[in-house]
Amino acid sequence: PPESSLLIDNQPYQLNQYGEIADPLLLGSGSYSYVVSAKDYYEEKGTFVVNGSKVERTVNLKPAHGFLKVAGNDPLQGASVYVDGNLIGTAPCKSGRLSSGSHTVRIIKNMYKESSETVTIRDGETLDYSPSLKADFASVTLKTSAGADIYVDGQKKGNSTWTGDLRSGEHIFEAAM
């Protein structure tokens, strides 16, 4: 990857945007060790020998990362998705690079119970993730005598009859005429 770093015999060398040595490199005859590394990739180490002719070495680092793809089916559609406490978007969405291993995924959506789970990201793979959200609300219908205003938790909701969803918990219902 372009953000790779290169050490030859523990000396750093600048790489260009293509991950190639930026300036021509002249080395005397002999054996040299190299290390190529980049964040979220497996480091590659090796040796090469210079003996009077051009030496070219191509290194392709293996990913030590993957991705998380969260479905957008109902009720996930529009839910906030967090990975290790960082918001990555709203469902449906796909994460940026995630290091391989365990990560905590939290899904938050109004009127649903928060979902939190540990998932495992594998090298070079995209994990399709589609958790089920549990509703945390009930549909309520209130009927009063004709013309009475209906209030729920201090907010006017309607007149005579009101139907709506309320999150679980205590609520104050009032009818005023």
Closest CA to 35 of 62, 13, 50, 68: 13
Distance separating alpha carbons of residues 98 and 118, to the nearest angstrom: 13
Structure tokens, 157: 């909701």
Rounded CA-CA distance 59/57 in Å is 6
Q: Which two tokens mark 100? A: 């391989």
Tens-digit pLDDT profile for residues 29-88: 999 999 999 999 999 999 999 998 888 888 999 999 999 999 988 899 999 999 999 999
User: Which is it for strands 86-90 and 80-83: parallel, antiparallel or unpaired?
Assistant: antiparallel
Determine the longest span between alpha carbons in the chain, in angstroms: 100
Q: Taken in order 39, 41, 47, 50, is the CA torsion positive or negative?
A: negative
pTM of the model: 0.75
